[in-house]
Structure 1
Amino acid sequence: MSKKYDVCAIGNALVDYEIEVKDQFFAENEVEKGLMTLVDEERQSVLLKEVAGAVKKKQGGGSAANTIFGLAEFGGKGYYTCKVADDEDGTLYTSDLENAGIDTNLDPQNLNKGTTGKCLVMVTPDAERTMNTFLGITTDFSKNELNEEAIKNSKYLFMEGFLVSSPTGLEAMKEAKRIARENGVKVSMTFSDPSMVKYFNDQMKDIVGDGVDLLFCNIEEAELFAGVEGMDAAKEAISKVAKEFVITKGKDGALVYDGAAYHEIQPFPTKAVDATGAGDMFAGAFLYGINNGLSHAEAGKLASAASSAVVSKYGPRLNKNHIQSILDTLK
């Protein structure tokens, strides 16, 4: 039976504020560089005032959202499950999904009272991104937001690791995984960020549980999850909990395991400007590929080209020209 969606994703809905800063900004404002840090609304407001003139762009984001946008940009059909509020950012977020052709549980006429989550994505001249996130209303993302029919009608469920930081988010992940398992839908997820694996390791192990069909992570996340060092030990550990997996290695490409064989995916050289969403785009392009006739090695190559294109510009999105250029390169 054919499914309506390639992927049904669940994750935090955050409006990304893309900001250019210098390294000294972090020292002056006691911000930990290179990590995603959860902050309260007051702390985020203080930082936002400091960088008011440096905001380059605002758009709907979040780890799994970036992945589902990536899938859609290549022509895949996605569904995104999230929670926003009835404020300006919530309206922006809802229209971003609609304009990208992504179906969602959000009803623009009936959004929740509260504040939509925001992520300050601070990019330094070395292209590294540092995120300070106020989750807002998505703190309470729960199984109430899930659309059981959308999960059943998808080839893959995709879950972001950031959700494990919230008890209701973790509960929603477990429920979504249960629905997927009972309906023959493959379960995929991403660890999202080293900080999630470092500080919420028990919760991450809880949701991975008896295993997943497809796991996305980077080498640091794999090492932290398994408590090991080095690629050989990391891939051995991850193979015990994921039937298939992708371990990204930044500028060194990625390692893809298709359940039977390993494939070294070469990087596409580029001048990095902003690393925001590189891993998310890799997952989106990869999921598009394996759902639309590509082998895991071919999907890895597509994903490598896509993530390379993303880091060469500001923000986590690609336009039609970028997509066409990637497809032409791969031909």
Structure 2
Amino acid sequence: MANVDLFAIGNALIDQEFKVSDDFLTAQNLQKGTMQLCDGEIQSHLFKHLKASQVYKGQASGGSAANTTVAFSALGGSAFYACRVGNDELGQVYLDGLNEANIATTTKSISEGVTGTCMVLVSEDSERTMHTYLGITAELTEQQIDFEPLKTAKWLYIEGYLSTSDSARLAVKQAREIAKANGVQIAITLSDPAMVQYARTGLDEMIAEGVDLLFCNEQEALMYTQTDHIDAALAKLKTLSQHVVITLSSSGALISTQEQTFNVPGRAVIAVDTNGAGDAFAGAFLYALNAGLGFNTAAELAILISSQVVSQYGPRLAIRDYAALLTDFQKECA
């Protein structure tokens, strides 16, 4: 296998997207803006209610770190994705989609079981609420991961959603050890307020003695640090990571490096669906850093890419659109 720039570990999920009302979320006892885990039977029951009363927007391959990896690869980076899918139709669809995006995978990712699915419920205000049946991805272990590409990668990227799985955290621990031994930089995302609220110990374990780059949004930053002001949150996060990126929705992002802290403004867009926006931001940011473009330029590109993701339904852009946006961005910067 050829060397890759980015080695990512995350869940493998097929998204089913619906446009829903706030009344529906309340009736189903779903906490808006967060991810809730469930079993297959409960999700099947919810799916029937959704199909009967809400607006179906389609199916898409998802998974937070996978969305990040697609953005990274589509912009021109080389990447490998470590995950676990079932030996079923959805699992093959999932891996085929990654390969079509020029992302390397391994047949080790395929095992007996059911591929995970996620009901993505998009409110009128564009906020996404997720109801997730992890399926076999909940049992991701080191046996499903080919660690060889990690040894020569530039970045290891860890999805915070893995904090709920004991076996996945062990796999992440091994990945961290390999990365440290080979001088690979480590990046992590907190992923979701629900992970901070319910899987804090798991996040602590994956962050361990610290990382090189930490991504989170404002709500996650405040919850994780148990503070009520972004400056206080940033100060605490800087004790865990050399570099911190806090996304601020339409207000852009707050970036902290070892040399400086600065804000990068957002772009004015009509938000349709926030699902995958933070993932795309991280992918574009890592691509730019890996290309030597610097933190400010990385944030500007990440904001451009993520603003386009929120302007449509689904967690990813068409592959060709990433490169087109990069070309436009390069012209802006010229």
Helix, strand or coil: the match of 1:264?
Answer: strand
Structure 2: unaligned runs, 5 residues or longer: none
Query: Do the aligned partners of 1:77 and 1:102 also contact (CA within 8 Å) in 2?
Result: yes
Identity of aligned residues (%): 40
TM-aligned CA deviation for residue 4 of structure 1: 1.9
Question: 1:97-127 deviations in whole A, cap 9, x for unaligned?
Answer: 11111001236xx831111000101111110
Aligned residues: 327
**Equivalent residue letter for 2:250:** K
Other-structure match for 2:123: 124
Other-structure match for 1:115: 114
2:316 counterpart of 1:324: no
Other-structure match for 2:33: 34
2:297 counterpart of 1:301: no
Other-structure match for 1:68: 69
**Equivalent residue letter for 1:328:** D
Helix, strand or coil: the match of 1:76?
Answer: coil
* Whole-angstrom CA distance in 2 between matches of 1:251 and 1:190: 19
Other-structure match for 2:80: 79
Report matched runs for 1:1-331 at 5 Å: 4-52=3-51, 54-106=55-107, 111-319=110-318, 320-321=320-321, 323-325=323-325, 327-329=327-329, 330-331=332-333
Query: Do the aligned partners of 1:309 and 1:322 also contact (CA within 8 Å) in 2?
Result: no
TM-aligned CA deviation for residue 303 of structure 1: 0.2
Change (3 A) 1:327 1:265: farther
* Whole-angstrom CA distance in 2 between matches of 1:321 and 1:35: 28
Question: 1:270-325 deviations in whole A, cap 9, x for unaligned?
Answer: 00000001110000000000001211110000001111110011111123245424
* Whole-angstrom CA distance in 1 between matches of 2:95 and 2:5: 20
**Equivalent residue letter for 2:324:** Q
The TM-score with structure 1 as length reference comes to 0.95
TM-aligned CA deviation for residue 173 of structure 1: 1.1
TM-aligned CA deviation for residue 241 of structure 1: 0.6
* Whole-angstrom CA distance in 1 between matches of 2:84 and 2:325: 34
RMSD over aligned Cα, in angstroms? Answer: 1.5
Query: Do the aligned partners of 1:59 and 1:92 also contact (CA within 8 Å) in 2?
Result: no
Structure 1: unaligned runs, 5 residues or longer: none
* Whole-angstrom CA distance in 2 between matches of 1:32 and 1:198: 12
Query: Do the aligned partners of 2:3 and 2:153 also contact (CA within 8 Å) in 1?
Result: yes
**Equivalent residue letter for 1:324:** A
* Whole-angstrom CA distance in 1 between matches of 2:166 and 2:19: 33
* Whole-angstrom CA distance in 2 between matches of 1:124 and 1:221: 20
**Equivalent residue letter for 1:48:** F
TM-aligned CA deviation for residue 326 of structure 1: 5.1
